[in-house]
Amino acid sequence: MKGIWPILALTIVAVISGAVLSWIWDKTNPIITRMDREKEEIARRMLVVPEDIDLSMIPSGVYSWPNLGVKDRNGFESFKGKEGVQEYLLIWIDDLKKVHVKYNVPKDKAKFIEKAVEAINKSMKITPQICGDWDVYQLFKKAISSTVNFKKVLVLADGTKIEASKDGFIGKDGQKYVVKGDKVFCNGKEVKGKVYYIAYLGGKRVAAVFKVEPVGYSSKLPTLVAATFDGTVLGIKILSQSETPGLGARCVEIKEGEHEPWFQKQFSGLKVDEIYLTEKDEKPGKIHQITASTITSRAVTKGVREGVQEFLKMFGKEG
C-alpha cells in the first residue's frame, strides 16, 4: 500500500497539471492566433510599399496617418492627396516644437518631418538616409501603406476565382467556402484552394500578396510574397522558421547597420526567371545562397519562384 500513494500523488499532480496547461492554452491560443494574423496583415501591407516612397506619385484621395505615439487620443488623422500630406506635416512640425512632451516624441523627430516636407517640395524620394531616423521612417512608410486596400480572392484548383464578399467566399453555385489558416473547406471537407490578396492603390490594382510554404532543412518556412502582375517580386517576408542556428536560420538574419534580412532582400525587383541561386541550382540566377545552407536557400528560392509562376498562371493575363 505504501508504494501506491506516491504513484497516486504523481497521477493527481499530472492530471491537475494537464488541466492547468489546457486552461492556459485555451486562454492564450486565441491571443497568439490574433497576433499572428495581425503580423501577417502588417507584413502584407509593408511588402507592397516600395523601399523608396516617391511622394510626388501619391494619387489623390483620403489617406490615414497613425498618431505616432500620441497618448491622449486614439485613431488616425486624415488628409487628402500630396497637398494634404504637406499641410499635415507642416502642422505636425509646429505641434512637435510646441508640445513635444504631450506627443511623447523627442524634438529631434521634427528634423525628419522637415526633411519629409522638403522631399515633397522637391519631389524627392524619401529614404532612410534622407530621413535620418529609421523608426520614424518606418512609421511614415506604414502611414502611406495604409492607403493600400486588399481584396481577397480564393482561387480553386481548377482556376475558378471567387472574390470575398461580406458573407465570405460564395461560389456561383451557392456553395460557401471557408478558409481556416491555410486550408479551404467546403461542406466540411477540405478542398484545394489558395487565397490571394489583390492590392489596390488609388483605385488601381498594383500587386498581389500570397503565401507559400516551402520546407527547409528542419522546418516549414511560411513566406509571404508580394508580386506585380508582370511577375516582378516586390518583396518577401519569412514569417517563421526553425532552421539550424548559424546556418539555415540565417534566412532571417539582419546584418549590422541594415534594417531587413539580407537574404530576403535579394528577391526584391527580380523577375520570375531570375529567381534561382547563383550556383547549385537548375540554372544560374541572382540569389546568393546562405553559406553552408544550400537546402534552406534552395527551398525558399524555389518556393517563391513556383509561387510567382502559379500566381501568373492564375492572374497574369489580367494584369
The domains located in the chain, with CATH, are 53-145 (no CATH), 149-202 (2.40.220), 206-319 (no CATH)
% of the chain surpassing 70 pLDDT: 63
pTM score above 0.85: no
What's the mean pLDDT in 93-105?
Answer: 48
Res 136: pLDDT: 57
The model's pLDDT over 76-94, given as tens digits with 9 standing for 90+, comes to 445 555 566 566 566 555 5
pLDDT of residue 263: 95
Distance CA 119, CA 89 (A): 11
Dihedral (Cα; 167, 173, 176, 180), 10-degree rounding: -110
Q: Which of 214, 308, 239 is nearest to 37 (CA)?
A: 239
Looking at per-residue confidence, does 254 or 201 come out higher? Answer: 254
Enumerate residues 6+ apart whose C-beta is below 8 A from 239: 36, 39, 40, 43, 211, 222, 223, 224
Reported as a single tens digit per residue, the pLDDT across 284-319 is 899 999 999 999 999 999 999 999 999 999 887 554
Q: What is the mean pLDDT of the chain?
A: 75
Structure confidence at residue 251 (pLDDT): 94
Confidence of residue 270 (pLDDT cuts 50, 70, 90): very high
Predicted local confidence at residue 145, as pLDDT: 59
User: Alpha-carbon distance 281 to 297, whole Å?
Assistant: 10
